């Protein structure tokens, strides 16, 4: 049964940067096992399968797979798929800027995306995160975390930031690192990964620091998930969604709307930019939005 697919680079406006994403269209006849096998064949951090929506008022239902299994929610699959569905609706390069609303049924729930398509093929999507970041319990031992990243204890932390865990659909351990020099030194020690992040079957980790390479970004980040087949991820929207909880906890922003931009993927040669916007009311996190661009890089037909 032939199936069309498209590969996009997400959280970038340039091809061969950002986080690559495979989107398989018309996947209603595939079961979960077949989807996983196809995701392993693409061998990208995530592959999306587009199905008919359960509610005809919605744009599509999607299932998201890493090479290790299905996940209920992820950021760059949401952004990339929303942009692709919007382009299918109005074209890849409209004569004038077009605003398109895309509503997708994900395993975590309904995700609403606003897409802006511009002449020349530029595209940007922003979505409302379906689950506001909440604490996911304490982080592991600081010495073990440092060792798992190939760093020393002294290279972790800056200001009042300490390792912590937050969940906005996927749980992450967030590890503050002193500076860019220490970030560049990170080397995974897989043999102690389970010990450093106990009780967490996925053990997803976002290391971050305040020092950045770009003048218009606020944090530099690297994400690691060796237990789910992702040694390092170029751009991780689900981590950025949960990172709103980190910013609220340690930076204590005032009530109002706040915008934070993260740079990621630099060390991989896949520079990515993730826009994070969140609302604080009564010193609490009330809503979160993730935004980014995407560009098509290839398309074809699966013949399996």
Helices marked H in the chain: 32-42, 75-90, 142-148, 180-185, 193-196, 237-251
Count other Cβ atoms within 10 Å, centred on residue 24.
Answer: 23
Please name the residues in contact with 118: beta carbons below 8 A apart, sequence gap of 6 or more. 94, 97, 124
CB contact at 8 A, 130 and 169: yes
CB contact at 8 A, 274 and 262: yes
CB contact at 8 A, 238 and 131: no
Beta bridge partners of 298: 7
Among residues 262, 274, 189, the alpha carbon closest in space to that of 221 is found at 262
Beta bridge partners of 209: 220
Active site residues: 46
Task: Give the chain's length.
Answer: 304
Count other Cβ atoms within 10 Å, centred on residue 180.
Answer: 16
What span, in angstroms and rounded, lies between the C-alpha atoms of 172 and 31? 28
Q: Any idea which residue has 């709103």 for tokens?
A: 244
């Amino acid at each position: 049964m032939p199936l069309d697919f498209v590969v996009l680079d997400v959280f970038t406006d340039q091809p061969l940067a950002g986080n690559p994403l495979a989107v398989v269209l018309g996947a209603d006849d595939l079961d979960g096992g077949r989807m996983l096998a196809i995701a392993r064949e693409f061998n990208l951090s995530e592959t999306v399968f587009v199905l008919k929506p359960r509610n005809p008022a919605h744009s599509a239902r999607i299932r998201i797979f890493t090479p290790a299994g299905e996940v209920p929610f992820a950021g760059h699959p949401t952004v990339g798929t929303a942009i692709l569905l919007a382009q299918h609706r109005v074209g890849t390069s409209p004569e004038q800027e077009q605003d398109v609303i895309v509503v997708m049924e994900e395993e975590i729930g309904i995700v609403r995306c606003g897409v802006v398509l511009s002449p020349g093929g530029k595209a940007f999507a922003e979505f409302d995160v379906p689950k506001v970041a909440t604490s996911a319990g304490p982080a592991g031992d600081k010495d073990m975390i440092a060792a798992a990243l190939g760093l020393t204890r002294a290279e972790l932390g800056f200001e009042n930031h300490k390792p912590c865990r937050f969940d906005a659909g996927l749980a992450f351990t967030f590890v503050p690192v002193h500076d860019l020099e220490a970030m560049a030194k990170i080397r995974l020690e897989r043999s102690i990964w389970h010990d450093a992040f106990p009780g967490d079957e996925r053990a997803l980790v976002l290391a971050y620091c305040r020092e950045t390479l770009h003048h218009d970004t606020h944090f530099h980040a690297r994400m690691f998930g060796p237990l789910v087949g992702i040694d390092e991820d170029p751009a991780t929207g689900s981590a950025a969604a949960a990172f709103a909880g980190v910013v609220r906890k340690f930076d204590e922003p005032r009530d109002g709307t706040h915008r934070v931009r993260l740079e990621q993927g630099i060390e991989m040669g896949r520079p990515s930019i993730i826009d994070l916007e969140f609302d604080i009311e009564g010193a609490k996190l009330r809503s979160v939005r993730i935004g980014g661009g995407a560009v098509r890089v290839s398309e074809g037909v699966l013949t399996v």
